[in-house]
Structure 1
């Protein structure tokens, strides 16, 4: 069936959602309204005082939820409504109640360890890594040249231990020495005295534009390894180092040489050297960095953070652990007073991308990101700098002094209240690697300042020294605090053991000083032949870091640290090479082990009730009007907790996407049933599919059924997330087991989104989802469990899935048990809501404005079957009508009732745009509860045409996808055009008597006449037009991106109109343009014959056909064979009138 009836749509909405009640003028009833959040509220959490009314004193509680785009402007992602759809769930926290949830705690927590048993030693242990070293030689070098750079002026004694040198050989020196552009095969040092083994000697070279070396910073970009081996210098004179990879000198640049080694014997060596004026740097003292292997973050002193607003630069050196990355990491995070992220860096995330977040105005944070390869963040020291200038709207990431990623339009200011580094704020994410030289400035540093001061960023000579807020060198081996040596020191605190790592020579990045010396160097060039390379795996020993083991126990429903153990790795330790490949095992005798044990326990917290699950709409180009859009929700079930001072919060990410006005309306009176109690079956939580299947969350729960109640209900709201959880329909269940009965309720968590009342939206709003739609409340499922439980006895309630496991799927679950007293009335019919006419409630917006039959939802709140209802209804200032509905309505069930209207004068007599309806009798007698018998709604008048409008529709590219029909005031179908052909224009000439009519347009695939996601499906359109002379002018255009359907009520009210039943009505001709034939649809209840004339532009009749009427509405086919393409006039002649229409023939 192409047209889903309004009854079907509205009853589905009524049954599966909480959109039930309308604020009413309750005759004789006192109403208390509590205002909470308003459009200008800066927070979405606070304490509010609700009236201290007993549930027996409250007939209804409505939550009136209004949202509008920020500052009432159309959304563009940055202003107005924000771009994305986020969960925006509303909670009441009752601190007088306690909830429990199943929880798991690993007994021994070791950061970065995921094995089954951790072997340890109480004494320090060592480990080793394997490195491939290459020794290279040649049989001969033809046309060889050895070019000496530098003059012997003094002696250079190599430093002992882990050391690194930088030497710069200027271009003019190289050219003067005779070097040619091209390959350099090796180099010689002239040893004056000494005999030593230089372990892990590494030489790296690069063409450089630098003309001098500074202690504060060296541009190391482009350095290439050319030599890596254990070397022996055992004779005076020239000692050669043949490169395993020749270095290609460009013939015009200087050469920067990096020389490093680990050798206690190096101090025995004395080389020929020249005086080096800013051409040599050395770091020979022990250097340390902080090793973070998934441990707790460091908490910064927040006093200086307030100095950051528009500009910020954060820089540091990091060495990511290749055996651990990529995983989800955070190397720094800062939040504001409301807990909103203000700065954050993932280095990287598990997808290998690096993220820089900065600035948050409540609608979300500015972000730039870029996918990175593992060698960009792991396996070597990398200098990073993250900057933002909110005034310029610029965010940048620098890697090793070079711009790596940038973004514009990032204007959100920075407001940091607290900040951690080496992890995130809540200690749930950490970093895996080494960190050094962590700095923060309240200024945007440029690339020059970043690159030229990368070795001494905290120097008092730094051009931005006055803007330096924090400088943590991370090298002093102090425990408990992280030393800040900025000009206003503010140490950071550490909650656990700080692991310092001593750097090998090749990994040194700090402690550089001018050496004043540079070796006299000979550079070897020529054409080599007969290369020999001997590769060997060499082990390098290092001390194992301390392992922090946190032993947990459970106290009062909380997992707490019982003891911290500081031990060392032991057992079988994996030896890895420089490529992170496993190449062997080293066995260290352990003193003991920590097994992987999980403690299962109940976690206790204040009771937190989800009273609404809603997802914010896609905000691009979204207009929620200056008054916003208003939902009304029945929250009477929560009467036991909506008393006194309670914490109200909106959470899960979407709370600031729009402005929110939220109020509660307490309607005093005798309830249909008193709500005795509401309790969470489960603490609101997110569960992943596999965990739910394994009962690791939302496990079977044993609840005591309250013994003073007579009716019990489970209410649950479930929404699916991630790719499969969001877009895959799965069957769920709620089961109840007791000593009385076992019952399983199966249900689908699936919501059709293409009839969303808020449309169109900027994203994929039409796609059906698991329990939710963008811009709409989530479905609420209700299950009456009264027959299956015994008051005062236990029952086991369980939630789960039917079917196999589903990856990439998680679900937000809210589930409560509601207990009620007995029904207070035997005969009690109540009007739940007015569907149409209604201009106040967005959930009914697709049905309004309306001039057709009013539609209301009536519920049987009593215990007696309702067999007959009489309703009286009118608009303000107009006459009243009455209607008797005769159809059974069972207790606790509802019916949608359409109320007939005899004439449009019912609406035109209106003097206030208020519609009211009242139940006057139930089963032939007065209703026992009159408090819910009368409801009224505001409404808007529909468009009125004082002419015969023309409806025009251009279909999309899908054959049979589009349909339309027109009905009269009481729903009689006048025109029905299903399954229209593709890419065709249809016109309906509506020569109808004065009255109210309804246009309904549907799309079978539920993607409208046009949808941005499917450009190949074409772009159709629809409108009402008016004929002005020979031109058809649009008077009402409809949005093509309407999803499943749209409805439009209109009035034809022609002045002095006389409707002659003898007149032929030309309803439509299609297709137009036509090729082989044209279909002509006529309506004439009286005429016996109709003549059709096709006339060309010269006035000549080129086609004539005489038609005999067989039925009141009939379609005729006029064949166009032999008719030349062009513009024609189609004339329709009956006994009483003549109609004309333009027709184009292709």
Structure 2
């Protein structure tokens, strides 16, 4: 089974000389294949599903492939707004070889669409997943289907979608021999007339004579809404058996408050049955102990469950891929640089000033116990560390490294190189090196003010300021804060790197539209002249992260935020709502209420020379529906949030 975990690191010391890692690492050209290029995707309400097909020319069958990565990009269409609902979309291999080839329908990706109702026209986001296990199928001419689900209107909303495949050539760590479809369907759950175990019967396959390894892949998400919230909002366990041996038991449940894509317009923070809105789902991967020429059995069992009014569905696709022997006993590969990084998916914990975080994989046949890691910003001094742990073949480790992340202003390049797995020569060097582009953390002066306005449920909140040695400089623990109170922390800091973290143990931030009892709070970082340096999003779910550097010359580095801080609460109301505005400069501000659907201006307020203010509106005269509240400054929309006027008794 593939695991992700932090491991203990042993410091060897900082390399005082500049190491030219990119000079020693082998460069491999990556081939990019695009099957869907910024296409507009909308629903088909008459069927609940809409199909978008695209062909790609993949490497020939005899071309060795080291790695395949699928990238999915979302944006708002050029002529429509972003769509509203969290639908389950699927990406499938439909045909391989040409127009007359048989229908394969292998699911290789599952996209849970975000609540996009409040995204601006320039919004975009990118996800990626590893598809190397499908290298037998992604060959020659391949037809890829993007299947978009849903019933929402299709005349004014949708998505702009790109699907790309990044092919890294090179010898595979494991040569694939066969792929077997184990399960593929929407399985009723909780219905006594259609028990799920009758559908999820054990599936047999006979292994190849050359098979020495195998991997089981499972895509699973729960959907539907019965009286207990199943299958979307209930936690139930799943058991996986291989040859009558239990290899995994886990809850089909996922926390959503730390979703990298935030905030969203709907109930994005609410935990769900193994998925969150705005997520490209990764397959669960299990390394299988297998013998050649043997009959093997895979069996998935769900927790026994019955509902008086069943509507739950478990959507499951599962495959077994057979492989030969490992090409090398000692073989490691970089998987990702998580910190520092500009990737959307890592935006929750970036930019950062200390502690790089990387992911690497053991692609060798031997247990990995030691590894040398060289890392640092390009053209800066490198650090050298010896990792120690136990990483089984096929598994991935996520490692937090010590040290400061050196950076020049603007964008930088961070480099990591792996070497000497188990003290020996790596069997394949080309994937030992990786670099990432990242932004430097902001620089501030020593005199700072942290404004923290609590909501009506402050027992869930805490915040901590730490220095580069992870020492606490200031802290407000959970349970210390009072409701509806403004805390203004005066900080006089020494030069150095600091990290400010805000947490909410309930996972609903300082504001969440569905939790009207909780009210709204906010967090702002100001300079000594009360100019805003950083505005924190109140609708943040579980946590906020902000790293910065305090420098001696405060006048040179005291940058301030140009976009004003705007809040609207409640956003689900019988009519009354309050808008608060804070800016570093006085400007003409226009507040507009726009109908949805209809996109008609229903009310407008203009405020001349406004810098700060709180404004109350009563929209109870309007029909009960959705509206957008927009704030415009100097011809630019700086705020766009959905207001739900609900039915009044």
> After TM superposition, is the score higher than 0.5?
yes
Which residue number in structure 2 is paired with residue 867 of structure 1?
Answer: 369
Report deviation, 1:621: 1.1
Aligned in 2, Cα 1:871/1:745: closer, same or farther, shift over 3 Å? closer
The 3-state SS of whatever aligns with 1:771 is coil
Q: Who is 1:647 aligned against? A: 143
Corresponding residue to 1:45 among 50, 53, 63: 53
Q: Which secondary structure does the structure 2 equivalent of 1:44 belong to?
A: strand
The TM-score normalised by the length of structure 1 is: 0.42
Please give the TM-score of this superposition, normalised by the length of structure 2.
0.73
C-alpha deviation, 1:1036, in angstroms: 1.3
Report if aligned partners of 2:40, 2:158 keep a CA contact under 8 Å in 1.
no
What CA deviation, in whole Å up to 9, does each residue of 1:677-719 have, x standing for no partner?
A: 2221123445444366354433322222233211112111111
1:1019 Cα deviation (Å)? 0.8
1:862 deviation in Å?
1.5
Are 2:95 and 2:144, in contact at CA under 8 Å, matched by a contact in 1?
A: no
| Bigger relative contact order (CA 8 A; separation at least 6) | 1
The 3 A distance-change label for structure 1 pair 624 and 66 is farther
The equivalent of 1:978 in structure 2 is 477
2:181 maps to 680
Q: Distance in 1 between matches of 2:277 and 2:216?
A: 25
- Determine the C-alpha separation between the residues in 2 that align with 1:862 and 1:849: 33
| 1:819 corresponds to 2:318 | no
Distance in 2 (CA, whole Å) between partners of 1:861 and 1:670 is 12
Residue in structure 1 matched with residue 570 of structure 2 by the alignment: none
CA contact (8 A) 1:944 1:1053 kept: yes
Report the Cα offset of residue 772 of structure 1: 1.0
Q: Which runs of 5+ in 2 are unaligned?
A: 8-23, 42-50, 556-649
Distance 1:785 1:887, change over 3 A: closer
Matches for 1:682-701 after TM superposition, within 5 Å: 682-690=183-191, 693=195, 695-701=197-203
Provide the residue aligned with 2:70 in structure 1. Answer: 63
2:232 is the counterpart of 1:726: yes
- Aligned-residue CA RMSD (Å): 2.7
Deviations 1:746-786 (A, max 9, x none): 22211111110000000000011111111012352222332
Q: Is the CA contact 1:61–1:667 (under 8 Å) kept in the aligned structure 2?
A: yes
Q: 1:718·1:779 contact (CA, 8 Å) conserved in 2?
A: no
1:1040 matched to 2:543? The reply is no
CA contact (8 A) 1:772 1:779 kept: no
In the comparison of the two structures, how many residue pairs are matched? 510
SS at match of 2:37: coil
How do 1:210-221 residues align onto structure 2 when only pairs under 5 Å count?
Answer: none
Deviation at 1:930, TM superposition (A): 0.9
1:50–1:687 Cα change, 3 Å: farther
Map residues 825-836 of structure 1 onto 2, 5 A cutoff: 825-836=328-339
Contact 1:751 1:779 survives alignment (8 Å):
no
Aligned-partner Cα distance in 2 for 1:911–1:880 = 20
**CA displacement, residues 906-931 of structure 1 (integer Å, 9 cap, x when unaligned):** 223x7851111111333334322212
Cα contact 1:88–1:651 (8 A) shared by 2: yes
Equivalent-residue separation in structure 2 for 1:765 and 1:911 (angstroms): 32
Match of 2:440 in 1: 941
Structure 1 residues 698, 750: closer, same or farther in 2, change over 3 A?
same
Instruction: Pick closer, same or farther for the CA change 1:899–1:783 going to 2, 3 Å.
Output: closer
Q: Deviations over 1:716-758 (max 9, x none)?
A: 1111111121001111222233xxx543632221111111000
Can you list the C-alpha shifts for 1:557-579, whole angstroms capped at 9, x where unaligned? xxxxxxxxxxxxxxxxxxxxxxx
Q: In the aligned structure 2, how far is the partner of 1:968 from the partner of 1:27?
A: 37
1:615 aligns with 2:112: yes
Which residue does 1:1134 correspond to in 2?
A: none
Distance 1:837 1:769 in 2: 29
Q: Which residue of 2 aligns with 1:851?
A: 353
- Tell me the CA shift for residue 1020 of structure 1: 1.0
Distance 1:636 1:744, change over 3 A: closer
Against the structure 1 CA distance between its residues 998 and 1019, is the aligned structure 2 distance closer, same or farther, given a 3 Å change threshold?
same
- Give 5+ residue unaligned stretches, structure 1: 1-5, 10-24, 74-78, 98-604, 1058-1146
Tell me, in whole angstroms, the C-alpha distance in 2 between the residues paired with 1:29 and 1:1039.
40
Rg: which structure is higher?
A: 1
Question: Where do 1:73-112 residues align within 5 Å?
Answer: 79-94=80-95
- 8 Å CA contact retained: 2:452, 2:523: yes
1:790–1:877 distance in 2 versus 1, CA, 3 Å: closer
The residue matched to 2:81 in structure 1 has which SS?
A: coil
Q: What CA distance in whole angstroms lies between the structure 1 residues aligned with 2:401 and 2:109?
A: 32
Question: Structure 1 residues 977 and 7 mapped into 2: Cα distance closer, same or farther (>3 Å)?
Answer: farther
| Residues 987 and 869 of structure 1, relative CA distance in 2, 3 Å threshold | farther
